[in-house]
Amino acid sequence: METIKKIFILLGSLDRRIIFFIVGLSVLIPLLKPEWVNLPIRPTPESQIVFDEINNLNEGDKVLLSFEYGPSTKPEIHPMAIAILKHLYAKNIQVYGFALWPDGNFMSTEAFSEVSVEFDKKYGIDYVNLGFKPGQEAVITGIASDIRTLYTVDLKGTPINDIPMMKDVVNIEDFDFVFSLSAGFPGSKEWVQYACDPKNIPLSTGCTSIQVTDIMPYVENNQIRGILAGMPGAAEYESLVETELQKMKITATPGKATGMMAAQSIAHVVIVLFIIFGNITYFITRKKKRKG
Amino acid sequence: MFFKRQIPLLIVIGVGLLTLFGRFINNEAVRGFVSNDATQWFDIIASFAIFLGALNMLKLQLIKIIKKQKNWQYSILAVGGFAFAIFAGFFYRGANYITISDIQEGELTSVSGIIAEELNESNPFNIETKLLDSKDAYEIDKIFMTEGNAKIFMEKLTPYVDTITLNSKPWGAHVQTKGSLFYWMFINTITPLGATMFALLAFFVASASYRAFRIRNFEATLLLVAGIILMLGRVPIGNLIPWWVVSIMVMFGIGAIAAPFIKKRKVLLGIVGGGIIIFIIAGTLMGWNQTPPAFLSIPIIQDWIFAFPAMAGSRALMIGIALGIVATSFRIIIGLDKSVLGG
């Protein structure tokens, strides 16, 4: 019994460098060898709602895709952007890119250039990237009232009046759907408050895991239609889109989030195990202290 | 003092009241101001704020270097990074591209071969088709960061093409063009640095939860149990945890929550151990291996936590914050709170 106690005390008082090493391994191994950990992806009802909303759009509909994330949250949000674009392009929906964060410009450029080539989509006809403007919520209110008061040129410097797909677009009421790829402020909440709710435009979101509790009240009220919650949400959406593309007989490169879920799963299990060991040690040492 | 305090205060009160009541006044001019003009004013002020912020940052970092304050060495990196970003954004475009026209007769295959080699295109025929399809000048699908590199490539084409021009993407647009110095800086320094900072969180969370997540009292236990369920329920591995493992976790959770109220440890151990045995016998008899009940499924428990306790807490926070914003905004608009005017 004493030996077991000693082992638990040892496990519960590990040096933090050893913890870092174990966490590092638990993330690295599944990333390097994803075939070793094959986990089933179960779409949550919220992810399914997002998919159904986009799937119910018609060919030629207009979707506003807002990029509100940067390099730090790229691993979580970018796979969502890629999967959403694949879904929209497969359904021949026109995509209008905006960015509420300066970093969003780079994220949108990367996402559009990656997926547009794969689906053979033409700039200005199938998609346009209008880019970032400073002003946070004011940009959203500007898009809600008159896009041209804010945007005179697109990200490439082309006057927006010269872009074919911008001809009939005045404000947010000309869009059929809004999707916010959000990692904080300004983001999904502001789209609800300043544009989509007042103008009654359907909105869905993909956000980081830590934002989910903040955004869920809007999802429960149907002010946001479904939510892709962090990397699991991205993986779920990827699997739904993959199935849909197979049905449509479209071949596309597989998404990255599904592969990363194995790493996240193992890391979560390792952290839970550490918490359990830490608590067992805490109980044993507390008892000893009381006796002593 | 009058220009420093009273006038700005009057502007704040006037614009604040107009923007607030503009939502309720059915007048075209007022609505136009609230929806369009006010947002444009905000944009202009925000643009100036960026300049002010940048200058302030530069001033603080330079003072730190000059006075050799604590960790002044890092400030050199900050100033250096700032200067490099300004240089890449305003002074060095990169983003050079080449257009060709008037290919000499019979040299189409040679030209497409050279371009295919440069672009790592395995099939030169694709380039040949694009060259034939281009009505005017053909833009080679490669951006060169330096003019020198572009000119080296141009020399390869010169014997076969009559008109070759070297162009650069327009100022402003170059920032988003792959191959510009600014884009290179963002992708190769800011992106990995940002991702690294965020990734470090995983290590600190693991280490901190290992040391600090202790069953000290009822609230801490509740937090710990909910945290573990959410951590496992949010990832696919949560689906694979069998019902009997969850039932053991549930009993340990109940035990941990009940621990502060039950003084006798043996009684507590009996409750937890007995509960586990009852769960396992009941589950085996009721065939939970085939169809486990919802309350023993980690993802379903996780969904419940999100839908009810977390939602209630989140709504309470939102309502509290909203009331706070209303109160603060009202104090600013009526001139009671003058902190917006600065020192």
CATH of the domain at A241: 3.40.50.1220
pLDDT of residue A277 exceeding 90, the answer is no
Those residues with Cβ within 8 angstroms of residue A42's Cβ, 6 or more apart along the chain or in another chain: A236, B236, B239, B299
Domain hosting A24: range is 2-38+260-291
Q: What is the pLDDT of residue B324?
A: 96
Residues A72, A29 share a domain: no
Residues A221, A101 share a domain: yes
Residues A162, A30 share a domain: no
**Using one digit for the tens of pLDDT, what is the confidence trace for A229-258?**
999 999 999 999 999 999 999 888 888 898
Tell me which chain A residues have a C-beta less than 8 angstroms from the C-beta of B190: 71, 103
Residues B164, B104 share a domain: yes
Measured CA to CA in angstroms, residue B329 lies from A136, B22, B295, B326 at distances of: 18, 16, 45, 5
**Using one digit for the tens of pLDDT, what is the confidence trace for A61-115?**
999 999 999 999 998 999 999 999 999 999 999 999 999 999 999 999 999 999 9
Measured CA to CA in angstroms, residue A258 lies from A46, A232, B191, B332 at distances of: 17, 8, 21, 49
Give me the number of domains chain A comprises. Answer: 2
Which of A72, A151, A291 has the highest number of chain B CBs within 10 A, making it the mutation to test binding with B? A72
Which of B39, B232, B314 has the highest number of chain A CBs within 10 A, making it the mutation to test binding with A? B39
Q: What is the ipTM of this complex?
A: 0.84
Residues B120, B53 share a domain: no
Run of H or E including A59:
none
Q: What is the pLDDT of residue B262?
A: 83
Residues B86, B102 share a domain: no
Tell me which chain A residues have a C-beta less than 8 angstroms from the C-beta of B228: 272, 275
Weakest-pLDDT range from B131-145, B184-198, B234-248: B131-145
Residues B82, B130 share a domain: no
Inter-chain residue contact A275 with B239, CB threshold 8 Å: no
Residues A232, A213 share a domain: yes
Run of H or E including B60:
helix B38-66
Residues B62, B85 share a domain: yes
Q: Are the beta carbons of B93 and B171 closer than 8 angstroms?
A: yes
pLDDT of residue B44 exceeding 70, the answer is yes
Strands A94-99, A127-132: pairing is parallel
Inter-chain residue contact B318 with A217, CB threshold 8 Å: yes
Q: Are the beta carbons of A100 and A140 closer than 8 angstroms?
A: yes
Does a structural domain hold residue B51?
A: yes
d(CA B11, CA B35): 18
Tell me which chain A residues have a C-beta less than 8 angstroms from the C-beta of B39: 135, 138-139, 141-142, 145, 149-150
Phi and psi at residue A106, to the nearest 5°:
-70, -40
Residues A19, A142 share a domain: no
Residues A178, A33 share a domain: no
**Using one digit for the tens of pLDDT, what is the confidence trace for B279-332?**
999 998 998 888 888 888 998 999 899 889 999 999 999 999 999 999 999 999
Binned at pLDDT 50, 70 and 90, residue B206 comes out as confident
Average pLDDT over residues A139-162: 90
pLDDT of residue B333 exceeding 80, the answer is yes
What's the DSSP call for residue B297?
A: -
Give me the number of domains chain B comprises. Answer: 4
The two structure tokens encoding residue A277: 């060991």
Residues B315, B301 share a domain: no
Residues B319, B303 share a domain: no
Residues A163, A189 share a domain: yes
* Residues of chain A above pLDDT 70, percent: 99
Does a structural domain hold residue B34?
A: yes
Residues A126, A94 share a domain: yes
Residues A211, A274 share a domain: no
Q: What is the pLDDT of residue B219?
A: 83
Domain hosting B125: range is 96-168
Strands B96-103, B138-139: pairing is antiparallel
Q: What is the pLDDT of residue A178?
A: 97
Å between B122 CA and nearest CA of chain A = 17
pLDDT of residue B343 exceeding 80, the answer is no
d(CA B282, CA B340): 65
Q: What is the pLDDT of residue A292?
A: 62
Strands A177-182, A203-207: pairing is parallel
Please check whether residue B167 touches A, CB under 8 A.
no
Q: What is the pLDDT of residue A157?
A: 85
**Using one digit for the tens of pLDDT, what is the confidence trace for B119-177?**
888 888 888 888 888 877 888 888 898 889 999 999 999 999 888 999 988 888 888 88
Residues A84, A51 share a domain: yes
CATH code at position B119? 3.30.70
Length of chain A: 292
Q: What is the pLDDT of residue A86?
A: 96
Å between A214 CA and nearest CA of chain B = 6
Does a structural domain hold residue B156?
A: yes
Neighbours of A110 (CB within 10 A): 20
pTM for the structure as a whole: 0.85
Residues A222, A287 share a domain: no
Residues A25, A57 share a domain: no
| Residue bearing the bigger pLDDT, B151 or A9 | B151
Residues B297, B229 share a domain: yes
Output helix, strand, coil percentages for chain B, rounded to the nearest 5: 75, 5, 20
Residues B84, B7 share a domain: yes
d(CA B127, CA B108): 10
Those residues with Cβ within 8 angstroms of residue A184's Cβ, 6 or more apart along the chain or in another chain: A68, A69, A73, A208, A211
d(CA B102, CA A288): 89
Does a structural domain hold residue B191?
A: no
**Using one digit for the tens of pLDDT, what is the confidence trace for A206-228?**
999 989 989 999 999 999 999 99
Inter-chain residue contact A23 with B314, CB threshold 8 Å: no
Residues B314, B294 share a domain: no
Does a structural domain hold residue B266?
A: yes
Q: What is the pLDDT of residue B102?
A: 85
Inter-chain residue contact A232 with B232, CB threshold 8 Å: no
Mean of all residue pLDDT scores within chain A: 91
Please list the alpha-helical segments (H only) found in chain A. 2-12, 16-32, 45-55, 74-90, 104-118, 137-145, 147-150, 188-191, 197-199, 212-220, 230-247, 257-291
Average pLDDT over residues B175-198: 88
Tell me which chain A residues have a C-beta less than 8 angstroms from the C-beta of B231: 268, 271-272
Please check whether residue B306 touches A, CB under 8 A.
yes
Q: What is the pLDDT of residue A291?
A: 66
Residues B72, B15 share a domain: yes
Does a structural domain hold residue B229?
A: yes
Inter-chain residue contact B237 with A109, CB threshold 8 Å: no
Domain end, chosen from B45, B68, B90, is at B90
